[in-house]
Amino acid sequence: MSTSKKSTRATGRIEVKTYQPQPYDEIPGGPTLVEIQVTESFHGDIEAEGAVRFIQALRQDGSATFVGIERVQGNLAGRKGSFLLQDSGTLVGREVSGTWFVVPNSGTGELNGLRGEGGFKAQLGEHASIWLDYYFE
């Protein structure tokens, strides 16, 4: 994120609505590659619906690393539109955590020009706490 732009912090939570994992590549003794389709609702400073596909490397001990791209459609601080988040994270024990950033030039409507970065943290099966430090170009 540009240091010359003043950002605003949005906070809130995500609630998962659907979670559909599908293994697509498995080898004995190695991590399983899994595509996961998720739909979720954002609440707080971001009031929106999200649709994301994750690619996850699931290790035999149950830990995992994942990446994904999510379309978020709704409102950010009262501005209506959509944008993309690029996610990267881990699952260790019961804790899911990660970082994300707004994909440049992905904002639509009143969210055109949106930029930012943030992250999320949750215990498996519970809502995620989220934050996004954002600004407009």
Q: Which two tokens stand for residue 47?
A: 């009031």
**The tokens 């690619």 sit on which residue?**
55
Provide the domain limits for residue 107: 8-136
Output the pTM of the full model. 0.91
Residue 3 has pLDDT above 80, yes or no: no
DSSP string, 30-93: SPEEEEEEEEEEEEESEEEEEEEEEEEEE-TTS-EEEEEEEEEEEEETTEEEEEEEEEEEEEET
Q: What is the pLDDT of residues 14-55, one digit of tens each?
A: 999 999 999 999 999 999 999 999 999 999 999 999 999 999
Rounded Cα distance, 91 and 98, in Å: 9
- Rounded to the nearest 10°, the torsion over CA 52, 53, 55, 60 is 80
Examine residue 127 and state whether it is found in any structural domain, yes or no: yes
Examine residue 24 and state whether it is found in any structural domain, yes or no: yes
Phi and psi at 60, nearest 5°, equal: -60, -25
- Rounded to the nearest 10°, the torsion over CA 81, 122, 35, 16 is -50
Examine residue 119 and state whether it is found in any structural domain, yes or no: yes
Q: Residue 128 maps to which CATH number?
A: 2.40.350.10
Residues 102-114, mean pLDDT to the nearest whole number: 98
Count of structural domains, the chain: 1
Phi and psi at 108, nearest 5°, equal: -125, 165
Examine residue 2 and state whether it is found in any structural domain, yes or no: no
